[in-house]
Amino acid sequence: MSKWEKFLDTFFNARVMEKYLPDILSGVLVTIELAVLIVISGLVAGLALALVRSLGLRPLNWLIIFVVDLFRSLPPLVIIVLMYFGLPAADVSPSGFVSTWISLALVLMSFSEEIFWAGITSIPKGQWEAARSTGLSFGQTLINVILPQALRLTIPPLTNRTIAITKGTALGTVVAVTEILGQASSAVSNSYNPSPLMMGAAAYIVLFLPVVVIGRWIETKFAWKR
């Protein structure tokens, strides 16, 4: 066997790949499920926190800032592990899937809250004053005048952050989530061949490259024009 054939046999072994393809595909489904849940719940919670923060209630805002800074400073893996192995001590036993989902959603919530908040505060005070002077309430001003402008500004940083955090679904493998990386690594230990890992990597690219490309497109499309 030439070196090249040996390389192919090791990393792109057709027999192994065929055998474990269904496992990888089921891993893809789990990853998609996790990613969708994290993105939706993380962004909704982040926006909600930013809106609450805009009410300007001091003690509440301190609490929000504390929570957000906490989840931004902890490595996501630490949060996942704490939740999965630590919470059972408090008689709550989330599955690996739920631990990963909630942990990464909290991280995305925290980063997106800061991004939404930065967007809201970057809108000039004159916009508030003009709207309020015509009789719009605080909430009407926020929804009709401030948020539409703020969201445009937040889209580029938000897209980047969301992609980065969503890729963290691979961390779920540590707490036995059968997502792509989890499926690939157990296939590697069962087959004594690293080909499934190559399939896993390919699956991530197929999954996330379009998201990155769409993110790039959104960024240019929503670039701020005045």
Partner 1 sequence: MAAAIVEARGLHKHFGALHVLKGVDLDVAERELVFVIGPSGSGKSTLLRCLNRLEEPSAGSIMVDGINLLDPRTDINHARQRIGMVFQSFNLYPHMTALGNVTLALRKVAGKSRGEADAIGRQALERVGLGDRAGHTPGQLSGGQQQRVAIARSIALEPRVMLFDEPTSALDPELVGSVLGVMRDLRDSGMTMVVVSHEMGFARNAADRVLFMDEGVVVEQGPPAAIFENPSHDRTRAFISQIQRH
Q: Which residues bind partner 1 (CB under 8 A)?
A: 124, 126-127, 129-137, 140, 144-145, 148-149, 152, 225-226
Chain centroid offset of residue 155 CA:
14
Residue 53 main-chain phi, psi, to 5 deg: -65, -30
Our CB check for partner 1 shows the closer of 18 and 129 to be 129
Residue type at 33 in one-letter notation: E
CA geometry: angle 26, 180, 95, nearest 5 deg: 80
Cβ distance 140 to 150 under 8 Å? no
Our CB check for partner 1 shows the closer of 144 and 190 to be 144
Our CB check for partner 1 shows the closer of 56 and 192 to be 56
Our CB check for partner 1 shows the closer of 221 and 225 to be 225
Distance CA 55, CA 102 (A): 26
CA geometry: angle 73, 98, 110, nearest 5 deg: 30
The least distance separating partner 1 from the CB of residue 50, rounded to whole angstroms, comes to: 18
Cβ distance 116 to 45 under 8 Å? no
- The single residue listed with the structure tokens 């948020």 is 147
The least distance separating partner 1 from the CB of residue 151, rounded to whole angstroms, comes to: 10
The least distance separating partner 1 from the CB of residue 216, rounded to whole angstroms, comes to: 22
CA geometry: angle 148, 152, 153, nearest 5 deg: 120
The least distance separating partner 1 from the CB of residue 7, rounded to whole angstroms, comes to: 55
Residue type at 3 in one-letter notation: K
The least distance separating partner 1 from the CB of residue 144, rounded to whole angstroms, comes to: 6
Our CB check for partner 1 shows the closer of 19 and 152 to be 152
